[in-house]
Amino acid sequence: MAKEIRLWEGNHLVAEAAILAGCRFFAGYPITPSSEIAEYMAVRLPQVGGVFIQMEDEIASMGAVIGASLAGVKSMTATSGPGFSLKQENLGYACMAEIPVVVVDVMRGGPSTGLPTHPSQMDVMQARWGTHGDHWIIALAPAFIDEIFWATVRSFNLSEKFRVPVILLLDEILGHMHEGFRIPDPSEIEIVDRARPTVPPERYYPYDDTQGDVPPLAPFFSGYRFNVTGLNHDKAGFPTTNPEIIQRDMERQRRKIMGHLDEILWWAEHRLEDAEIAVVAYGSMGRSAHAAVDRARAMGIRAGLFRPISLWPFPEAEVARLAERVKAILVPEMNMGQLVFEVERVVAGRCPVIPINKVGGIPIDPPEILEAIRARV
C-alpha cells in the first residue's frame, strides 16, 4: 500500500482512486488522451478481484458498465470526445433507468476527431446535454492532483447516492501531467454505497417515489426480480405512457439532483474576499487562473478566482452573489465559449462577463489571463 508521496499521472490516479472508491468493473475502448486509465485498470482490477474488459467500442463499454452496475458492482468507463459522443445514448439510458455509473471524459479538441493529443475543454456542454431528452446529471471538473483523487471518489459516491451517472471531466493537461500525491489511508476515505431495499421482494418497487427521491436499488440476482427499461416506466419499472406517472417520475428525477444541491455543489475560492475582478475557471484553466490571480495581487490588483468543481449542476447562487460585488467576471476556457453561457445566464447582467477563448491545443497561460485582468481595472 503506497503511503508515501509519489509522482502520479492524472489518468493513473483516476484509476487508483476509482479502485479505492470501490470500483470493481471497468469496460473501455482506447482513445487518446484517456487510454492510460484503461491500461492501468487492466493491470490493477484483477489484482483486487475486479474485472477489466476491452469492449469493441464505446457504445459497448457503456452498455457493459450499466449491466455490471445493475448486478451491484461499482463500474466505470473512460473515454475522450468522440467516444463520449458514442456513449451518449446509453448514458441517457443510465439516467432514465437510474443506474449509478462513472464516465470519465478526458477532453481533447474537436469537433469530430479534432486534436487527439492536445488539450481542450470542449465537452462541457456535451457533458450536460449530450444525450437526448431531458435528463439530470452530475459533472465534476477537478484541477489539481489531490482534487483529481477526491473528485474520482466523489463521483462514485454521488452516483451511488443519487442513482445517477456522474461525468468526471478531465482535460489532456490533467490526464497526462505528473504531480506528487500521497494516497490517503482507506480510513480517511468516505465510501457511499447505494441504498438497498429492506422490504420483502413482493413489496419492492425500484422507482417508488414514496421511498424518497432516490428509491433503493436491488442488485440483479439478489432475490428481487424486477424490470428495468429505458422507456418511461411506472414505479415497478414497467413501460407506461400514462402522462401523470411520467410527469411525476421526471419531476422526481429532476428533484433528486436539483433538490439536493447542498450535497452536490462543489467549488473553490481563491482570494475572492475583497476582489473587484473575478475569474471563473475550471479544470486546467483553473490552474492558469490561480497563477494569474496571484500575479495580479502581487501587482496590487484586487483579483480573485472562483473555481467551480461541480460544473453540473452549476453553483448558480454563488456566482450570482459574486456578480453583485465585482466589477467584471472573466471566463477563460480552452474552447470558443461554453461555460461562459452558464455564467452569463446566472450573472444576468449584474456585471460584465468577458470570455477569454483559445483553441488550437495551446492552453491559455497566466500572462494572458493577467493581461485580461489588467485590461478591466
Q: Which is nearer to other proteins, 137 or 343 (CB)?
A: 137
Which residue, 64 or 280, is less far from other proteins as judged by CB? 64
Give the Cα separation of 93 and 75 in Å (integer): 15
Task: Sort 268 into a burial class: Cβ within 10 Å, 0-12 / 13-18 / 19+.
Answer: middle
Asked if residue 111 has a cis previous peptide bond (ω within 30° of 0), the answer is yes
Applying CB under 8 A, does 49 fall inside the site for other proteins? yes
Amino acid at 191: I
Decide whether 117 or 229 has the Cβ nearer to other proteins.
229
Question: Which residue in the set 2, 5, 57, 117 belongs to the binding site for other proteins (CB under 8 A)?
Answer: 57
Please report whether residue 90 would count as binding other proteins according to CB under 8 A.
yes
Pair type for strands 75-79 and 165-171 = unpaired
The correct pick among 10, 28, 33, 63 for binding other proteins (CB under 8 A) is 63
Nearest Cα to Cα of residue 158 among 343, 339, 312, 283: 312
321 Cβ partners below 8 Å, 6+ apart? none
Is 361 among the residues that bind other proteins (CB under 8 A)?
no
Query: Would you give the binding string for other proteins spanning residues 310-349, x where CB under 8 A is met?
Result: ----------------------------------------
Instruction: Determine phi and psi for 104, rounding to 5 degrees.
Output: -95, 130
Q: Which stretch binds other proteins (CB under 8 A): 29-37, 47-55, 184-192, 347-355?
A: 47-55
> Which residues 18-37 are close enough to bind other proteins by CB under 8 A?
25, 27
Reduce the DSSP state of residue 204 to 3 states and report it: coil
Does 238 participate in binding other proteins (rule CB under 8 A)? yes
| Three cell numbers written together for 356 | 477569454
Q: Which residues bind other proteins (CB under 8 A)?
A: 25, 27, 43, 46-49, 51, 53, 55-57, 59-73, 75, 89-90, 93, 220-223, 225-231, 238-239
